[in-house]
Amino acid sequence: MSNAPEVELAVREAVAQTRSCPLEKVQITSNLMDDLGADSLDFLDIVFKIERAFKIEITRGEMEQAARGDMSEEEFAPGGVLSEAGLQRLRELMPEAADRVQPGLRPAAILRLFSVQTFVNMVRAKLDGRTY
């Protein structure tokens, strides 16, 4: 199911079920927290639904590693705030949220950047055997 429209639809359905909202409200550009009101438990729920739907595994470690890439924690976020290199890495990783990746960002706030597109990208990378 690495076909883009199918992945998009399945991810939107997982999000809609989790948030108990109509599918139409969940658009590819919708931000999970700000637009759809998701909390951290919802993220877990969405990830589990996606894992089941696509028979893949997305661990928290993988999500953190995905954000950092090859960078060490110290390079990525020295003193708990993302470095310029860390911000750049994030803009490349999440182009859909690039305008929100601003100096002063803390790693814990990265979740706030997640949109439906972010999950779609993650699933497609997994299905294609790429590192997200």
Partner 1 sequence: MNPVALVTGGSRGIGAATAIELGRRGFDVAVGYRTGAEPAAKIVEAVESFGRRAIALKCDLTIAEEITKLFRVLDDRMGSVTALICAAGVTRDTLLGASEPGDFETVLQVNFLGVVQCCREAARRMMAERKGAIVTVSSVAAQRPGRGQSNYAASKGAVESFTRALAVELASRNIRVNGVAPGVTETAMSETIRALAPEEVTKRILLRRIARPQEIAKVIAFLASEDASYVTGQVWSVDGGFKLE
Q: Quick one: tokens of 2?
A: 């690495």
Binding to partner 1 (CB under 8 A): which residues in 52-81? 52
Q: Which stretch binds partner 1 (CB under 8 A): 22-30, 38-46, 61-69, 114-122?
A: 38-46
Q: Which of 68, 66, 78 is nearest to 125 (CA)?
A: 66
* Smallest separation, CB 45 to partner 1 (Å): 5
* Smallest separation, CB 72 to partner 1 (Å): 28
Query: Going by C-beta distance under 8 Å and a sequence separation of 6 or more, which residues neighbour residue 122?
Result: 58, 63, 66, 132
* Smallest separation, CB 48 to partner 1 (Å): 5
* Smallest separation, CB 39 to partner 1 (Å): 8
Q: Please count the other Cβ atoms lying within 10 Å of the Cβ belonging to residue 98.
A: 15
Cα atoms found within 13 Å of the Cα of residue 19, Cβ hemisphere only: 26
Binding pattern to partner 1, positions 94-113, x when CB under 8 A?
--------------------
d(CA 69, CA 18): 29
The radius of gyration computed from the CA coordinates of the chain, to the nearest angstrom, equals: 14
Identified binder of partner 1 from the candidate list 35, 49, 63, 65, rule CB under 8 A: 49
Identified binder of partner 1 from the candidate list 9, 21, 35, 45, rule CB under 8 A: 45
Instruction: Give the footprint of partner 1 on this chain (CB under 8 A).
Output: 41, 44-45, 48-49, 52
